Amino acid sequence: MIEESWADMIYLDYTANMPPEEEALQVFLETERRCIGNANAQHQAGRYASELMHSLSQRAAHVLQSKPEEVIFTSGASESNNTAIFGVAQASRHVGRHIITTPLEHPSVSGCLTALQERGWEIDVLDVNRDGTIDVDQLKALLRRDTVLVTLCAVDSELGVMQPVAAASECLRAWPDCRLHVDATQLIGKRPFDLHLADTVSLSGHKFGGLNGSGLLWKRAETAMEPLIHGGASASLYRSGTPAVGLAASLAAALEIAMAERDGRYERVASLNRRLRDALAKRDGVHLHSPESAVPHILNLGVEGIRGTAFRDALDARGVCVSVKSACSVESTPSHAVYALTRNRRQALESWRVSLSHMTTEAEIDEFITIFDGICEELKP
Ligand code: PMP
């Protein structure tokens, strides 16, 4: 539920942040009040917190149809991505130093890969088709004996393109030393996903009704990975530090709700997306960059002759929140993701993103369109 003080705002940036579920907030407060001990401490208050952490791992594992020891609570998907990529690269450096990725990765993935490249790893970036999906034949052709990791964003945050994770996973069967990392941050709670297609999977609480600062890394039990955060044994060998029991509890609660409500919410968002697309398609000079096959939560677009940042600022001045690129990107450069699809620098500079959720209303979409028309009138060259 959006706070009343925001009642006049039209919030269309759910991909950047989703308001927390009330239950996730309540559970956080109750857990923090109840768990006074450090889950790593050897006394009854510590044991209470540690047992609770274990039961939260079990709950999250149950929703994700996996094992509790495969669940690593983190501070968010950026940490999960860093842990998986550096951890797997480091653990398999004796096998090789070749990694394959896509141009639609979040900066918390591409940033790790740039850092590894500077340390001598070789990174290949796949091309994408007109609908943004990777070319699986090209992936097959690029795989080699020293490839240790393929990293794929299941749904990217700028365009909403869904990657063929199952087909990529199938290709890797022939390469037992190569691990598959999937950034499922924008997929979880939207579409069904079988984690077992991958070796490591990142999630973030605040994208599905949990709290900011909570995340999860799923790691297949057999996958070798060195920890990123060292400091002795904790709730997981792979992530030291005092476990954030309240955040883990809020994440488990939000995950259960997001999964239970997933299909109904998806249908609602799909119908809102149709309404928005149909209205925008009637307008001159509007380019819809997200393919029809994208998740309906994300619609990337641009208006000829108006920079994405200028459109976003004009909307902001009228009480509408949208984003240009993902919130974690450098703002002044053209969108890397839109360029990868369109090969058009101008369109990449003009692009911006509307993102919807089950909380969006039809009235908000209609009001957004009216405001959109007014801005086009004012800013069009
Ligand atoms: N991956 C993707 C695809 C994302 O959209 C985001 C958040 N924008 C992240 C990773 C990073 O998530 P967090 O904010 O939890 O670190």
Domain that holds residue 77: 22-260
Residue 228 and residue 361 share a domain: no
Same domain, 252 and 318: no
Q: 111 and 222 share a domain? A: yes
Which of 219, 243, 260 represents a domain boundary (last residue)? 260
Angle, helix 107-118 to helix 77-91, in steps of 10 degrees = 30
Q: Residue 301's closest CA among 253, 368, 247? A: 368
Here the tokens at position 261 are: 């409500």
Instruction: Please tell me whether residues 130 and 266 are part of one structural domain.
Output: no
Exposure class string for 294-308: b at 16+ Cβ within 10 A, else e: bbbbbbbbbbeebbb
What confidence score (pLDDT) does residue 331 get? 64
User: What are the backbone angles phi and psi of residue 300, rounded to the nearest 5°?
Assistant: -95, 135
How many domains, the chain? 2
CATH code of the domain in which 241 resides: 3.40.640.10
Q: Which atom of ligand 1 is nearest to the CA of 204?
A: 15
The count of residues in the chain is 381
Cβ(185) to ligand 1 under 6 A? yes
| pLDDT by 10s per residue, the chain, length 381 | 555 667 789 999 999 999 999 999 999 999 999 999 988 899 999 999 999 999 999 999 999 999 999 999 999 999 999 999 999 999 999 999 999 999 999 999 999 999 999 999 999 999 999 999 999 999 999 999 999 999 999 999 999 999 999 999 999 999 999 999 999 999 999 999 999 999 999 999 999 999 999 999 999 999 999 999 998 777 788 999 999 999 999 999 999 999 999 999 999 999 999 999 999 999 999 999 999 999 999 999 999 999 999 999 999 999 999 999 755 556 668 898 999 999 999 999 999 999 999 999 999 999 999 999 999 999 987
Which of 260, 279, 307 delimits the end of a domain? 260
Residues 190 and 330 in one domain: no
Residue 104 in contact with ligand 1 by CB distance below 6 A? no
Please check whether residues 212 and 63 belong to one and the same domain: yes
Residues 234 and 306 in one domain: no
Q: What angle do CA 371, 273, 9 make, to 5 degrees?
A: 40
323 Cβ below 6 A of ligand 1: no
List the catalytic residue out of 35, 153, 171, 328.
Answer: 328
Are 12 and 323 within 8 A, CB to CB? no
Looking at the structure, do residues 135 and 278 belong to the same domain, yes or no?
no
CATH code of residue 303: 3.90.1150.10
- Bridge partners (DSSP) listed for residue 237: none
Distances from the Cα of 183 to the Cα of 77, 202, 366, angstroms: 8, 5, 33
Catalytic annotation present for 328: yes
Residues 224 and 357 in one domain: no
CB-based contact 239:71 (threshold 8 Å): no
Structure tokens at 93: 């450096």
How far does the centroid of ligand 1 lie from the alpha carbon of residue 185, in Å?
Answer: 6
Cα 256 to averaged position of ligand 1 atoms, centre (Å): 20
**Same domain, yes or no, for 297 and 198?**
no
Do 193 and 239 have their domain in common?
yes
Q: Is the CB of 108 under 6 A from ligand 1?
A: yes
- Calpha distance 300→288 (Å, rounded): 6
| Structure-token pair, residue 337 | 């993701």
Task: Outline where 208-307 has alpha helix (H).
Answer: 245-281
Residues 147 and 274 grouped into a single domain: no
pTM: 0.96
**Which of 237, 260, 283 is the last residue before a domain boundary?**
260
